[in-house]
Structure 1
Amino acid sequence: MSQVAEKKPKSWMIDTRPLRVVAYRRMWIGNGASFFGFQFTAVAVPVEMYAITDSTTWVGLIGVAALVPLLIFGLWGGAVADVVDRRRLLLASSVITWTSTLGLLVQAVAGLHSPHLLLALTAVQSAGFAISSPARNAIIPRIVPGDLVPAANTLNYTTTTAGGVLGPLAAGLIMGIWSTEAGVEVAYAVDALLFTMTFWATWRLPAIPPIEREEGDEKPSAGLRGIAVGLKFLVTQPVLLLSFAIDLIAMIFAMPRALFPAVAENQFGGGSAVGWLYSAIAIGSLLGGLTSGWISRVRRQGLALVVAVVGWGVAIGFSGLATHLWLMVLLLAVAGAADLVSAVYRQSIMQTFAPDRLRGRLQGVFTVVVAGGPRLGDLRAGATADVTGVTGSWAGGGFVAAGLAVALAAVSPALIRYRPASESSEDR
């Protein structure tokens, strides 16, 4: 694998060198296919729920049903990933996710029309994802050279972003061709079919057991004690703690998506405007990923993370002040590109800084932060808008996030000084 890392391309196009690693290439294909397929379910579940209940409250409960298991099992799944063979854990958790998807398909075909069953299956599916996510991300530094970890993460984020853009469009096309009932069934079937590629990719992985403990290391535990050890390590490492804190700042203060419906209706007369607003950040992330060949060449990853978060906040701030839809979408796309950069470096810093024996647990915390931050941002944006107005909440939140990111980096400079150690995956 070291030969893969020797040639560092100078192109600005996305760095594809990690795809030369067979194990990573299989994971990338499987994960990309399953994430694209999941978008069909993400559209079908709320469509089916609304068709059954004719209630937006029930549709809103879907988010709660998904979030709670994600918060609980994300931490537990991270602890388990440090104790068992990560390949086996990924296979087992994938079975949970796939079974719940089949359950959604079966209940739709059978015409059960039960909102409670939909919520239960959504919760099980979310639990399966939460358990698998820390293991899936903790595997990457074990199968690619250390200096290719940022490139590997960029490929992952770009692929999932593309799925996030194209998946809902394809699902919407299905809903338009068939009736609601038939469209929901087809959507679940597509998701279940594409998810089989994840099984194939995971099955072909090599065994990835825990690395032998060094003298003085704690005995690994998948329970509360193991989670506590991971959290203790996190709070004693300023680089990791700051990387998590700056992400929470970005998401809580500068995530404007809860305001998109109001802005689309009041400023742009509704219609397709809301679709453009919801897709703009993802489009920017996708374009940022496709032109990200420079990312793996940056050594000052901590500084780059801070700059990206500041760029996200500033772009969000100015987008909130825009009065033309095209300008608002453009600025949101710029913010999306900055978000991709910050996500890649945040993930890469965590993967390469943390020792392998704790990597799963920290990935679990990462999963919770990534899941909870934007939802807290939705709450903040909506509540603030009731007091300051939509523009104040949107633009003000973006500029506040940028300012807080600068202040945090200035007060605690460990993050901006961070450079990754030169090491290969075999050394860990």
Structure 2
Amino acid sequence: MAWRDTLLDVRPLRSSRPYRALWIGASLASIGQQIAVVAVLQQVWELTRSPLWTGAIGLATGVPLLVLGLVGGALADTVDRRSLVRAATGGQALAAIGLVVQAAADNRSVTLLLALVAAQAGCAALGAPARRTFPVRLLPADQVAAGLALQNLAFQAAMLIGPAIAGIVLAQWRYPAAYAIQALTTAASLAAVVRLPAMPPPRTGDEQHPGPGARQRRGPLPGGWRVILRRPTLWGSFAVDLAATGLAMPVALFPLVNELRFGGDPRTLGLFLSAIAVGGLTAGTLSGTVTRLRRSALVQLVAATAWGLALAGFGLAGPLWLALSCLAAAGAADTIAVITRGALVQLETPDHYRGRVSSVEHVIGIAGPEIGNFRAGLLASLTSAPVALLAGGLAAATTVITVGLVNPPMRRHRTRQEPEDAQPTAVAPAQ
């Protein structure tokens, strides 16, 4: 493999103008979202001084993501996907404005704050499954993994830049300014979505080809779940991600760890999130190695195991440099797992099921970490932060290994060269 092939594959930015605009808008929105994540975490901590309440942030976001994410998946297969994402992003912008207002009014109610966070998460969940299908509709099949890698790289960059900006903004201008930045960046994302080409739902029969060898009949499970449960690569991939995030997510414990070990400085709190992003950016910059591999499921298994072990190490780390190193290793492993899972899911799922399957991916990929944060906060309130981190990391690694052992088709899987039931892609040449 040539050394250039190990670097970031930027072909999607050159080949598709709609994808490029979408990527820029989503990148800006990710920065605003990361600023808001730190602001909400710090505001809840200031209001309550309780790790249980910081863990409740995960519950406030996880429940709407679970319920409305599945609804969004069904809608993505029945309505124009661009229109759905446009409406959902508009709702996110309104919720962001609500966060600005409550902060400017010096809100002292943690319930109101979490209600606005839940509303924003619900809007995001409605549009997320449709949004996840955009790369496979806007890009050639051989560029889908590269497009997902670019999106993940932008997210990791936002995790690096966003918390650092948040620390400065919170120290100088407090919460209203932090939430205002999120509102502006969400508006930029909305503008990018409005300019996308129309994406009507696929015309292929709703019940065709739920899986290799599957009988074409209706059953008690929704169509998307039938596809997942009848394909070992799909249910195995989702099980791995759920184990990694639900058992080992550490973010809810960051304020407590920061206060116990590093004096509670908000700049150190930002460094925790930035360290994860440094690892993710490093892995993303070298993602050409991953996007060209066809053993994506096996790579996901290895990366998810490394994620759990790295977070267990964070629970034991004393010096700041060692804690940040463990978080950077976790971030790199997470990036690799996300890229490989995303490409596998999009390319292995027929387009007429892609919205519903993507909704399951979204629920597990987003609600899973939030519920995992609630688990971490609850366990830490009963024991301690180091115990919660160590137990969660080891449990995650053990569960991932178990999934790999009981799922031979996943270990042997090779990614398709073309998406199943591929639809004509709306590729616009760069200009």
Q: Give TM class, smaller chain.
A: 0.7 to 0.9
Corresponding position: 1:343 with 2:338: yes
- Is 2:133 aligned against 1:138? yes
Partner of 2:246: 252
Q: Report the number of matched residues.
A: 411
**When the two structures are superposed, what TM-score results if normalisation uses the length of structure 2?**
0.84
Q: C-alpha displacement at 1:235, in angstroms?
A: 1.4
Check if 1:305 corresponds to 2:300: yes
3-state DSSP of counterpart to 2:5: coil
Q: Percent identity?
A: 39
2: CA distance between counterparts of 1:248 and 1:216? 27
Unaligned runs of 5+ in 2: 210-218, 426-431
Shift of 1:115: 5.4
**Kindly tell me: are residues 91 and 327 of structure 1, through their superposed partners in 2, closer, same or farther at Cα, counting changes over 3 Å?**
same
When residues 127 and 390 of structure 1 are mapped into structure 2, their CA distance, relative to the original with a 3 A threshold, is closer
Distance 2:116 2:327 in 1: 34
Alpha-carbon distance in structure 1 between the residues aligned to 2:190 and 2:4: 35
| Aligned positions of 1:23-422 closer than 5 A | 23-45=18-40, 62-108=57-103, 117-178=112-173, 180=174, 184-214=175-205, 217=208, 228-266=222-260, 271=265, 274-381=269-376, 391=386, 393-422=388-417
Is the contact between residue 69 and residue 126 of structure 1 (CA under 8 Å) also seen in structure 2?
yes
Give the TM-score taking structure 1 as reference length.
Answer: 0.84
Matching residue's letter, 1:71: L
Among 400, 418, 426, the alignment partner of 1:423 is 418
Structure 1 residues 292-328: Cα deviation after superposition (integer angstroms, max 9, x where no partner): 2212211111111112112223333444444433223
* Partner AA of 2:243 in structure 1: I
CA contact under 8 A between 1:16 and 1:155: conserved in structure 2? yes
Conservation of the 8 A alpha-carbon contact between 2:236 and 2:410: yes
Alpha-carbon distance between aligned partners in 2 of 1:120 and 1:267, rounded to the nearest angstrom:
31
Local SS of the residue matching 1:420 = coil
- Give secondary structure in 2 for the equivalent of 1:206: coil
Over 3 Å counting, the alpha-carbon distance change for 1:114 and 1:164 in structure 2 is same
Contact 1:381–1:394 (Cα < 8 Å) also in 2:
yes
In structure 1, runs of 5+ residues without a counterpart are 1-7, 219-224
Aligned pairs for 1:12-27 (under 5 A) are 12-20=6-14, 21-27=16-22
Contact 2:250/2:376 (8 A) holds in 1:
yes
Kindly tell me: are residues 10 and 131 of structure 1, through their superposed partners in 2, closer, same or farther at Cα, counting changes over 3 Å? same
CA distance in 2, matches of 1:372, 1:190: 24
Q: Which AA in structure 2 matches 1:280?
A: A
Q: Using a 3 Å threshold, how does the CA distance of structure 1 residues 79 and 226 change in structure 2: closer, same or farther?
A: farther
Q: Whole-Å Cα distance in 2 between the matches of residues 243 and 58 of structure 1?
A: 31
User: Deviation of residue 392 (structure 1)?
Assistant: 5.2
Q: Report deviation, 1:171.
A: 2.6
Q: AA paired with 2:144?
A: V
Q: Deviations over 1:23-66 (max 9, x none)?
A: 11111001011121223333444566677x56757766554433
Write the distance in 2 (CA, Å) between the matches of 1:325 and 1:106: 36
CA drift at 1:342: 0.3
Counterpart in the other structure of 1:4: none
SS of 2:133's partner is helix
Question: Structure 1 pair 287/227, CA: closer, same or farther in 2 (3 Å)?
Answer: farther
Cα deviation, 1:156-204, whole Å, max 9, x if unaligned, reads 11111211221232133223223x4xxx333333222222222221122
CA distance in 2, matches of 1:131, 1:90: 8
